[in-house]
Structure 1
Amino acid sequence: MGGFIARAVIAAGLGLAIASSCPEVRAGEATQSCTKEDFEAVVEAASGSLRDLNIQNRPIFQEKLRELKAKRHWTNDEFIVQARPFVKDEKMDVYDKTASELLAAIASMGQEGASAASPNCDQLVGLRQRMKLLVDTQSAKWFYMFEKLDAELAK
């Protein structure tokens, strides 16, 4: 159970990092001025957080899948079929759909904000909120996947 808590704390920290990546623009408050660089910084911070989530979680998750394969004595062909529910199910589809929608909105907002002659600081706040939600969504997906796999390993 300690692994769950550690991953949850790290994921929460990544979300907070996004929320505070531009100190002059906080969620829920607009500022007088913002720059193209502010938009770029928000996107870069979120990209780094998502990258960190994958770097941190993927190897551990893959190792746990290998543990399950060994525990169940699955052949490689059986493993491909049996492991599918741990990486793809209806709930993960919802996480993926949410992430795709957020990415589309983020791409649009980031491009508009970075290319505007006079960036809209309210839009920057919205961008930061969506970036945080994206990181939170991916964190929740990882947590869910680990929860399913750990429950199966405990059987």
Structure 2
Amino acid sequence: MCGFRGRAAIAAGIGLAIVSFCPGLRAEETQTTCSKEDFESVVEAASGSLRDLNNQNRPVFQEKLRELKEKRHWSHDEFIAQAKPFVKDDKTAVYDQKADELLSAIASMGQEGAAAAAPDCALLLELRARMKMLVDTQSAKWSYMFEKLDAELEK
């Protein structure tokens, strides 16, 4: 199974394609035991990664929206209406739904792993994989929103 523990990959309930792109998930890099703190740190890392991603992208995105407002000479009310499709449309709704599902699973799995008498290391692998999927989903959403905005600025 591509160097992964079969039990861990199966128990994780995720495809090998997803697992294989998650750093630190190869069997030779995982511990044979895991602790409550490992689960807590994965959830904390997910929160930190998302916060960093938003802090990096939000100011740049807002500045580009202001550029578009100036370029189009929109009033404040026009700006509010015209900017909405750049942050909320059918595709961003799909990203948001996926992110919500992943956040829910991460929180649940993190609590389950931290509360278990004997932490399940396969569950920890799944938690790490979902964390990566969450960060990737949010990165893709930002990329999509920037692409739409950049295309509009070039017109």
TM-score higher than 0.5: yes
2:74 counterpart SS class: coil
Question: Structure 1: where are the runs of 5+ without partners?
Answer: 1-18, 21-25
* Partner in structure 2 of residue 154 of structure 1: 154
Q: Is the 8 A contact 1:28 1:125 kept in 2?
A: no
Measure, in 2, the Cα distance between the counterparts of 1:92 and 1:60: 18
Q: Is the 8 A contact 2:36 2:114 kept in 1?
A: yes
* Partner in structure 2 of residue 129 of structure 1: 129
1:34-72 per-position Cα deviation (integer Å, ceiling 9, x unaligned): 001111111111111100001000000000000000000
Per-residue deviation, 1:31: 3.9
Find out whether 1:112 has 2:112 as its counterpart.
yes
> What TM-score do the two structures reach when normalised by structure 2?
0.82
Measure, in 2, the Cα distance between the counterparts of 1:93 and 1:151: 20
* Partner in structure 2 of residue 16 of structure 1: none
Q: Whose Rg is larger?
A: 2
Matched length: 132
Measure, in 1, the Cα distance between the counterparts of 2:151 and 2:41: 39
> What TM-score do the two structures reach when normalised by structure 1?
0.82
1:74 counterpart SS class: coil
What letter corresponds to residue 64 of structure 1 in structure 2? K
The Cα RMSD (Å) is 1.1
Question: Structure 2: where are the runs of 5+ without partners?
Answer: 1-21
